[in-house]
Amino acid sequence: MDLKNLVAEYRLRVETHLEKVMQAEQPAPHLQQAMHYSLFNGGKRVRPVLVYMANQLLQGELKNADIPACAIEAIHSYSLVHDDLPAMDDDDLRRGKPTCHIAFDEATAILAGDGLQALAFDLLSSPDSSLEPRIQLQMMQSLAKASGNFGMVAGQSIDLCNVGKQVSLQQLELMHQHKTGALICSSIEMGALSSGKATEQDLHSLQQYAAAIGLAFQVKDDILDIEGDTATIGKPQGSDLAQDKPTYPALLGMAGAKQKLDLLNQQAHATIDGYGDAAAPLHWLADYIVERNY
């Protein structure tokens, strides 16, 4: 199995479906342009890929993973649009391109984020879905919790409240378990649910895997903020340092942060060893998160 090509196929699949969704005529063309710009600005599509991988691990039908894959990417894209706003991180670049509020304007960026958030739940609740209503409801609850005040939004708030402050390692992990990890956990959960075959043990094991790679994703981001460069990582190098944000290298030192990253990688692999060769794509993705340079 060529796992790199498999991931590329999943990325193309979700982008094809997102393109179809965004081609539908909308009453506000300027808003539609901003939403499209934010969805198609070079994302790695890690979360949709996780949806597809979890679905296939449990031998589900891939078509049943399309809607949750699109929904998670819509939520993720909305979060980045709002994260970049002047009132939040005030970033001018995202993935090497002007952020939404720079390419359009601040008000349009806020509305584009709102539109993308609503789009996610519109997709999941579609009466034309091939998913059972019970599964649709479980997915909506998973994504709502992961993206709201019990998940990503809570993490954003903790982050903003601690700029310029000393935090403990436990506080930092709590922030990132919500800010980054919650959506990654929801990706895995929705993918497993879309198979229609997920047991409680499957959900538990996959949530442990997701928690490990979710935290690893953030540790790697913190390392790249220092060791990467603007052209490679697609945003201003050192932006977290400039804003005096709490990071793993700041708390643990660079060597300690890299050791933490390696430990999380080992934990991720251990949680899915019981699935044997069927989990090869998830093993590959765990290593990709650790080894990526952007």
Predicted local distance difference test score (pLDDT) of residue 236: 54
φ, ψ for residue 129, nearest 5 deg:
-65, 145
| Residues of the chain scoring pLDDT < 70 | 1, 228-244, 293-294
Q: For residues 21 and 17, give the distance between their C-alpha atoms in angstroms, rounded to a whole number.
A: 6
Predicted local distance difference test score (pLDDT) of residue 229: 61
For the purposes of burial, counting CB atoms within 10 Å of the CB of 212, is it exposed (0-12), middle (13-18) or buried (19 or more)?
Answer: buried
Predicted local distance difference test score (pLDDT) of residue 239: 56
Question: Look-up: residue for tokens 């929904």?
Answer: 71
Predicted local distance difference test score (pLDDT) of residue 43: 87
The tokens for 62 are 């891939």
Q: What is the pLDDT of residues 123-166, one digit of tens each?
A: 999 987 788 899 999 999 999 999 999 999 999 999 888 888 88
Q: Strand locations in 44-132, DSSP E?
A: 93-94, 97-98
Q: Place domain 3-291 in its CATH homologous superfamily.
A: Farnesyl Diphosphate Synthase (1.10.600.10)
